[in-house]
Amino acid sequence: MLEATPLTEGWVLHHEGADLPAVVPGCVHTDLLAAGVIPDPFVGRAESEVAWVGRRAWSYRTTLRAAPGAQRTDLVFTGLDTVAEILLDGVPLGRTRNMHRSYRFDVTGRSGELTVRFASAYTEAEAVRARLGERPAAYPEPYPYLRKMACSFGWDWGPTLVTAGIWRPALLEHWSTARIARVRPLVSVEDGTGVVELRVDVERTGAGAPLAVEAAVGGQRVRAGVEDDTATVRVEVPDARLWWPRGYGEQPLYDVELTLLHGREPLDGWSRRVGFRTVRLDTSADARGTGFTLVVNGERLFARGVNWIPDDVFPSRVGRERYRTRLRQAADAGVDLVRVWGGGIYESDDFYDACDESGLLVWQDFPFACAAYPEEQPLRAEVEAEARENVVRLMPHPSLVLWNGNNENLWGFRDWGWEPRLAGESWGEGYYLGLLPRVVAELDPTRPYTAGSPWSGSWDRHPNDPDHGTHHSWEVWNRADYTDYLREVPRFVAEFGWQAPPAYATLRRALPGEELAPDSPGMLHHQKADDGNGKLARWLARHFPPPDGDFDRWHYLTQVNQARAVAAGIEHWRSHWPACAGTVVWQLNDCWPVTSWAAIDGDGREKPLYHELRRLYADRLPTLQLRPRGLVLALVNQAAEMWSGVVRLRRMAVDGTLVGERETAFRAAGRGVAEVSVESGLVPAGAAEFLVADADGLRALRFPAPDREIPYPRPEFDVTVADGLVTVTARTLVRDLLLQADRLHPAARADRGLVTLLPGETVTIGVRGWPDPDPDAARAALYCLESGR
């Protein structure tokens, strides 16, 4: 039987004539950090101090010992970052140039010093660029010229920390006679029967041995012979339970066990978990354009999504528990789709396992982002090899529902001035419209493929046409106020977002001793977006008076503005289901402490936006929207059951006076949207009034004027603390009350974000991780809007 031995012990990293202890899996930066050679690049401006690391060549060494008994021993690297030469006792075994694939070398009977020499990724990328010619990109770093995580080279939310190292497990595999080289599981549902068809490739040590494979799924067992080193075994599971996205049903998973046999002797095994479900992408034309709707098990979905970036700029530090924590946060916020963005990596199976178990759908980008990618060798062969390997690797996961060719490259070609600059040079179109769809169709025909995001489906239309396919809404953040989200109803909003700084405790850890200000040196270093602070200031000025040097107030208001902006988009677009079939917020997470569009900051703390997503992505959402006929209350019901009840509409003055009131019945069909017209007498008149809509314990608010024009009363409220609960009782209108729990203690977390209270109303906020509860401290950590502030 094949035996695998992890190669985790005895590694050293050679640095300036000395050997430092090395951790495998890991990378050069983490080893240098552990040895005290470099400062933490996440703290202060130390990122700049360690830039030299990415420009150096590095070597890892360990001792390899021969294993007796097996006919064959393979040295397997499941991830090398990126350009490496592998030597055994000084004799080359091979070279690598792709972070996104694995490598295997025959070392049967051999032992000695194993060395992995890494060239600087800059050296390789710049050499390829010199040979193939310059290609346009969103950033000046040479990331399009090698198959490496693009955001290693920096992004508008990420540091430039160009890594090298053995970033995924290394192992020795000992085997005899034959081994399973590849298994391609095609999982389908046919008339209620779950079908698993396993296409198996076998590698032998020599010819002649009769082989068979045996597969077991759901109590069913089937055997098939191996011919020409391939076999196909089909297992049918009667009355299979369907796997559903979260919120639509359960996520039953079935163990698949495959054994390679020589007679009765087991030679190798392969096991995975699968789920039975169907998925298709409806891109049919209609009166409004071309749709983009995911359909799972026949159920049409409004996708409640978030974009995922690598959770650490050093991906080897992200393990099973960290994946589960972050994805649990996503699920708890009502998210049902996670888009793995194309400037990162194909994540580890731990990521997809967690999504399988929690019902989070996965949209998987191929790793191409914001650049023209050459299609000549050596890149083309590497792209095909990595695509083939990762399509097959990820096929078992029922959570994976969509393959996407790239991020913004089709848009960039048409709209960012690339076409004239390229003057006929290759730029990636052959990958997105040729190679990648061919690979997916050949290897994984059970899933849809789309050429890019955004993509309108045809060059006859603008790639980012909101009426066709996927749309990225960045003109709003870059050039306008978030109220401009209300101008369009895209068919599927795959990217949009708004910036805010991380939590206060995160800033204090990352910028120790710094007097914090929006433009203090550390804050500027941890703001990577082009004119990011300028945009924050301009968009704050549309709604609020300037904070006038009060950092705490600036910090709070930017957090409010982020949550308000995302809410404006999602409420508007959800209210237009099924014309709009999804929103994917940019972004869920961060890879270090930074001012960014994330809902969860680089230390894992939830921003107010995170808590707002819980409201916005709930099954039921009331929202006040302007329609051509006037103001309406849209009742969005993503639950399967009818939503019916009575809505209470109140026109109120900011001093708490009730101006007008009405109750009316409503009925919203399952997976539908109902609208209740707001009569003219209930529409607020001027900045001193607002509208409240309460339905089934849920609330929608409409303030018709910017906050800077609203004469809010001086907020008055009482605070009590008991048993980890902070209770606030309002004596006036209290708008956008926020308890910043991390100001109480760095480990403290609140269970809710922004809340608006009417006079006499009470809210109870749960706080965990607060060792010394104190009412005065709680009051000091509470922020809300005030007239003129």
Residues forming the active site: 408
Task: Report the distance separating Cα 291 and Cα 288, nearest Å.
Answer: 8
The 10 Å CB-count burial string (b at 16+, else e) for 755-783 is bbbbbeeebebebeebeebeeebbeebbb
What is the rounded (10 degree) CA torsion for 25, 30, 34, 40? Answer: -160
> In the 8-state DSSP scheme, what is residue 346?
P
Question: DSSP assignment of 270-283, as one string?
Answer: EEEEE-B--EEEE-
Strands of the sheet containing 293-296, edge to edge, are: 279-282, 293-296, 299-300
Which residues, in sequence order, are bridge partners of residue 294? 281
Task: Report the distance separating Cα 635 and Cα 552, nearest Å.
Answer: 36
Task: Report the distance separating Cα 348 and Cα 345, nearest Å.
Answer: 9
Closest Cα to residue 288, out of 454, 484, 489?
A: 489
- How many residues make up the chain in this entry? 789
φ/ψ (deg, to 5) at 104? -135, 135
> In the 8-state DSSP scheme, what is residue 147?
B
Strand runs labelled E in 638-724 = 643-653, 658-668, 672-677, 689-695, 698-702, 717-722
φ/ψ (deg, to 5) at 355? -70, -40
Tokens of 478: 């870059």
Contact 61, 47 (CB under 8 A): no
Closest Cα to residue 42, out of 513, 555, 594, 520?
A: 594
Which residues, in sequence order, are bridge partners of residue 279? 296
Task: Report the distance separating Cα 148 and Cα 124, nearest Å.
Answer: 11
* 373 half-sphere exposure, CB direction, 13 A CA radius: 31
* 7: three-class secondary structure by DSSP: coil
* 363 half-sphere exposure, CB direction, 13 A CA radius: 33
* 53: three-class secondary structure by DSSP: helix
> In the 8-state DSSP scheme, what is residue 602?
T
Element (H, E) at 402: strand 400-404
The 10 Å CB-count burial string (b at 16+, else e) for 632-643 is bbbbbbbbeeeb
Task: Report the distance separating Cα 452 and Cα 368, nearest Å.
Answer: 10
Task: Report the distance separating Cα 374 and Cα 241, nearest Å.
Answer: 45
Q: Which residues are CB-neighbours of 244 under 8 A, at least 6 positions away?
A: 250, 251, 277, 296, 297, 359
Q: Which residues are CB-neighbours of 236 under 8 A, at least 6 positions away?
A: 193, 194, 195, 220
Whether cis (ω within 30° of 0) applies to the bond prior to 720 is no
Burial class (CB in 10 A: 0-12, 13-18, 19+), 519: exposed
Q: Which residues are CB-neighbours of 107 under 8 A, at least 6 positions away?
A: 64, 73, 74, 75, 88, 93, 172
Task: Report the distance separating Cα 538 and Cα 528, nearest Å.
Answer: 17
Q: Are strands 689-695 and 698-702 parallel, antiparallel or unpaired?
A: antiparallel
